[in-house]
Structure formats: C-alpha cells, structure tokens
Amino acid sequence: MARDLARELYRAFRNQPKRNKIGESTETRGQVGDPQQIGSVLDELVISRDWRQGLAEGNIFAEWEKIVGFEIATHSNPISLVDGRLTIQTTSTAWATQLNLITVDLLKTISGSAPGALVETLVFIGPHAPSWKKGLRTIRGAKGPRDTYG
C-alpha cells in the first residue's frame, strides 16, 4: 500500500505543469515541472481517491484528547468506528453512565471537530472484566480457579 501511495504521489507530481517564477504555467501538462508543495499533491490525492471521510474518522482517534478534553480523554478511549457507530471504552461503569448522559453534546462536539466523519451513534462500554479462560478451548460451567470441580 505504501508503494501504491508513493507511485500516486510521483504521478501527481510528474503531471504538474512547469511554472515560471511568477507562477504562470510555461509547459503543457505531462512534462516534469518545478517542485510542488507536498501538501497540494497530497490534497489532490485525497480528493481523487475520496479519502476525506476516512481521514476525518482517523482524526477522531488521533486527536481524541483535543476533541473531548483532558478529563474525558483520561477516562475514555475510542475503540472502533463501524457504520457510523463509535464505540468508546471507559475506565469504569460510572464513567460509561456519565458519558451516556451527555451523548448528544459529545456527538455535536465530535461532528464539529472532525467534519466529514460519519458518527451517528455513541456506544459506551466499561472496562474489561478479568477472564479466567486460558487457551483456545473452554468448558462451559467452569467458573475459574476457585471452582471446586464437583
């Protein structure tokens, strides 16, 4: 995938028209021109491949603390975003309950901070409970290390 991206960037760069010092085009498209800013080449690539939504959704995970604030980010972490459903794991069931109460405000904040991202619902889950399962196979009814097996 990285090779494909590099090829696309090279093609986009190569197909830029050559410009003079004033910025006017001096050659036809398809010839190697002056170096272009990487940002403009990446912008064209994002638009041509329709990656805007995916990048906006990725920013939710990368900038979670900026979006929701330090206190909420300390007690929550986005886990997955599938079909407009953002699943957020919290440090306790109390935090899951509290965040569930402000779901509408959080949705507004997320949509304002990550325009283009498709987030329609929020699902809050508490921390993982300890599991006594070991290995690939388990026996139903076995409760763990304190089970009397009888």
Q: What one-character DSSP code corresponds to residue 96?
A: H
- The pLDDT, as a whole number, for residue 30 is 46
| Pair (72, 45) in one structural domain | no
| Pair (44, 21) in one structural domain | yes
| Pair (26, 74) in one structural domain | no
Give the mean model confidence (pLDDT) for residues 12-37: 59
Positive or negative torsion for Cα 129, 132, 135, 137: negative
Distance CA 14, CA 8 (A): 10
- Residue 11 structural domain: 2-50
| Pair (57, 119) in one structural domain | yes
| Pair (13, 33) in one structural domain | yes
Give the mean model confidence (pLDDT) for residues 99-119: 88
| Pair (70, 115) in one structural domain | yes
What is the total count of domains within the chain? 2
Is residue 9's pLDDT more than 90?
A: no
